[in-house]
Amino acid sequence: MNGNGFNRSGQVNGNAARRKKNSGQVKRRISSRTSMAQREEIVRRTVYVSDIDQQVTEEQLAALFISCGPVVDCRICGDPNSVLRFAFIEFTDEEGAQAALSLSGTMLGFYPVKVLPSKTAIAPVNPTFLPRNDDEREMCARTIYCTNIDRNLTQADIKLFFESLCGEVYRLRLLGDHHHPTRIAFVEFVMGSICQGNEDSKGNKAESAIAALNCSGVVLGSLPIRVSPSKTPVRPRGPCISVL
């Protein structure tokens, strides 16, 4: 301690602490800028595709665009304002995305698709939620992802809606609560579609799920629901309705 009662070691320790804090802030800013730059780069190599026929699968859509360059991801989503759907396709480089723009107007199914530069990147799916085997991949084919659900609707309301239009529901998981403005649900159908007898149940196992995609835009409660194919199976755990 000096004549003024000042502890030099305290000054040194305080300066070190400030330097450490400032260093951490700089690293966070650099990390944030890096993440933003990476995201912007991903957006530049992603295209937005609209007017997609309900019967077109992600595999068929990716097959059309693979001529432009290697496809990293292809995500089809439901459009609440149309019977058609839209998708995001990410390429390995910007050249692929630029080439994809030339495919706007190409007939795929019964409609010509529209291709524009994307304003957003494809949201990643947690790999632990993805199908782990052939059985779970089959489950995904029978499952739809429904968003923009009126928060006042119950699981029974949603189950009744889809069963009346698409087919028997095997399992349903409703997420969110009254504190959220809207809710989401995963709905897995049984094999086959509505009105099918046992003799037909070995037909198209995804038929009910395909029919459910046509429900995108239908007002349920007070909101138009959005329906898209599910990337993940509804595993038998957590709060869900099971009709087993």
Q: Are residues 96 and 178 in the same domain?
A: no
Q: Which residue has the higher pLDDT, 128 or 97?
A: 97
Q: Are residues 150 and 89 in the same domain?
A: no
Amino acid at residue number 52: I
Among 63, 88, 117, identify where a domain stops: 117
Mean pLDDT of 169-184: 82
Residue 71 lies in a domain: yes
Please tell me the total count of domains within the chain.
2
Q: Are residues 231 and 135 in the same domain?
A: yes
CA 129, CA 172: separation in Å to the nearest integer?
Answer: 16
Residue 101's pLDDT is what?
96
Mean pLDDT of 19-31: 58
Residue 79's pLDDT is what?
55
Q: Which residue has the higher pLDDT, 34 or 143?
A: 143
Percent of the chain with pLDDT over 90: 25
Flag the least confident range among 46-50, 110-114, 126-130, 198-202. 198-202
Q: Are residues 178 and 108 in the same domain?
A: no
Residue 149 lies in a domain: yes
Residue 95 lies in a domain: yes
Among 117, 147, 174, identify where a domain stops: 117
Flag the least confident range among 75-84, 114-123, 153-162. 75-84
pLDDT bin (cut points 50, 70, 90) of residue 237 is low
Flag the least confident range among 41-45, 77-81, 98-102, 211-215. 77-81
Is 14 a residue whose pLDDT tops 50? yes
CA 208, CA 193: separation in Å to the nearest integer?
Answer: 5
Flag the least confident range among 57-61, 173-177, 198-202, 222-226. 198-202
Residue 9 lies in a domain: no
Most confident range, picked from 46-55, 57-66, 103-112? 103-112
Is 196 a residue whose pLDDT tops 70? no
What is the distance of C-alpha 227 from the center of its chain?
Answer: 10
Among 117, 139, 159, identify where a domain stops: 117
Is 70 a residue whose pLDDT tops 60? yes
Residue 159 lies in a domain: yes
Cα torsion 31, 36, 37, 43: sign:
positive
pLDDT bin (cut points 50, 70, 90) of residue 29 is low
Residue 225's pLDDT is what?
87
Q: Are residues 134 and 111 in the same domain?
A: no
Is 38 a residue whose pLDDT tops 80? no
pLDDT bin (cut points 50, 70, 90) of residue 97 is very high
Backbone dihedral angles phi then psi of residue 12, each to the nearest 5 degrees:
-60, -45
Q: What is the DSSP string of the chain?
A: --TTS--HHHHHHHHHHHHHHHHHHHHHHHHHHHHHHHHHHHHHTEEEEEEE-TT--HHHHHHHHGGGS-EEEEEEEE-TT-SSEEEEEEESSHHHHHHHGGGTT-EETTEE-EEEE-SSPPPPPPGGGS--SHHHHHHHHTEEEEEEEETT--HHHHHHHHHHHT--EEEEEEE--TTSSEEEEEEEE-SS-TT--GGGTTS-TTHHHHHHHTTTT-EETTEE-EEEE-SS---S-SS-EE--
CA 57, CA 111: separation in Å to the nearest integer?
Answer: 14
Domain encompassing residue 209:
127-242
Flag the least confident range among 76-90, 122-136, 148-162, 170-184. 122-136
